[in-house]
Amino acid sequence: MNEKLQGRTITSMAQLSEHLELSDEEKAFQEEKKYLPVAIPSYFFSLINPDDPLDPLRRQVVPTVHEQIEETLEDMDPLEEVEYSVNDRLIHRYTSRVAFLVTDICPMYCRHCFRRRFTGTFQGPATREQIESAASYIQQHPKITEILLTGGDMMTLSDTRIDEMISIFRSACPHLVIRLCTRTPASYPARITNNLISMLKKHTTAPFYVMTQFNHPRELTEQAKEAIAKFVNAGIPAMNQTVLLRGVNDDVDTLESLCNALVFARVKPYYLFQGDLVSGTAHFRVPLQKGMELEQELRKRLSGLAMPVYAIDLPQGGGKVPLSKKYVEETNGCGLWTFTTVEGDKRTYADPETTGQR
């Protein structure tokens, strides 16, 4: 890597072109018309193979002209998060959990980001008032058991600010499980410092979970694994959410090795997400039929521990539902069920009523 870049972040196409020979589709990207800023930390940039215009890591962070094509059914907010928002930072879509938008800033902007209505809009970190108002909302809704600290990437805040925010949530709701949603173990692992971990360890009334986003096995570098180990060694379990992305990870061998490498790094593959209908991301979306075939093949190859749930977050705020090829069908309506095994064979299973075991 170019020495000049060490420790810095590429934030413009002009800067990028000094370090990388841009392809025609990258050159055709019109920066002034962008939805999302450009940001590629030197660490992540160093993982890109500069000689391959279709490098799976490059595709995730270097914009192309395809990002500026809007398909008819696409929307800036297909999940209608705004509709489900309690205020401009708190989304209450599911009874038991809320998502808090800590900040819109990320160390690295992913070209597939589904929250681009908010991400990188330079609104900055939530204010103390916004945090306090979210905490009191949660206090008034005792069915809420979990909060997702998300964004943007919450790890762009200083340790002090994260500490203050967690203190507010934990003092209002001591038993709230906190999910730390962050891509920094993949995008900028040096951010995961011992200091950050010792600060988190002070907050002991309820567990933390760290929710990472690794999309390709090459992102699981030694540094990334060290960052994960810091959380896990501190008693913070790690779960990963992968976005299924065309040209990045839409083949079964890549997903298989990613999931196995995650388990080996003590990260549970949690979700594999179908791409949302977000403006300018059609080139990343994998057809559902292919996604379900990948899921079926993964289910044959992977252990239960390594197998993520393939899920879609439905448009118009429909929420997440699992996706898989149909394994079960009721045939005779009297409780006799027919199944298709993972290998494609047929099996039947009977409910108690039909076998007289009641």
Ligand X SMILES: *Cc1c(COP(=O)(O)O)cnc(C)c1O
The catalytically annotated residue of 89, 93, 111, 285 is 93
- CB 240 → ligand X: shortest distance, Å? 12
Q: How many helices (H) and strands (E) does the chain have?
A: 12, 15
Contact predicate 255/249, CB 8 Å: yes
Known catalytic membership, residue 153: no
Site string for ligand X, 299-328 (x = CB under 6 A): ---------------------x--------
Quick one: what does residue 89 bind among ligand X, ligand SF4, none, with the CB cut-off 5 to 8 Å set by partner type?
Answer: none
**Residue-by-residue DSSP string for 189-231:** GGG--HHHHHHHHT--SS-EEEEE---SGGG--HHHHHHHHHH
Q: Which residue has the tokens 């949690």?
A: 270
* C-alpha closest to that of 348 among 322, 333, 330: 330
The Cα 349–Cα 358 span in angstroms is 16
If one asks whether residue 218 binds ligand X (CB under 6 A), the answer comes out as no
Nearest-10 crossing angle of helices 288-301, 252-264: 50
Known catalytic membership, residue 110: yes
The catalytically annotated residue of 97, 111, 179, 225 is 97
Residues 6+ apart with CB under 8 A from 196: 155, 159, 162, 230
Of the pair 94, 339, the CB lying nearest ligand X is at 94
If one asks whether residue 141 binds ligand X (CB under 6 A), the answer comes out as no
Binding site for ligand SF4 (CB under 6 A): 106, 109-110, 113, 115, 119, 151-153, 183
The catalytically annotated residue of 113, 173, 181, 259 is 113
Known catalytic membership, residue 94: yes
Q: Which residues of 105-120 are buried (b: 16+ CB within 10 A; e: fewer)?
A: bbbbbbbbbbbbbbbb
Residues 6+ apart with CB under 8 A from 23: 53, 64
- CB 268 → ligand X: shortest distance, Å? 12
Of the pair 170, 183, the CB lying nearest ligand SF4 is at 183
Known catalytic membership, residue 191: no
Q: Exactly one of 58, 59, 89, 97 binds ligand X (CB under 6 A); which one?
A: 97
- CB 188 → ligand SF4: shortest distance, Å? 10
Quick one: what does residue 337 bind among ligand X, ligand SF4, none, with the CB cut-off 5 to 8 Å set by partner type?
Answer: none
Catalytic residues: 93-94, 97, 106, 110, 113, 115, 276, 313, 320
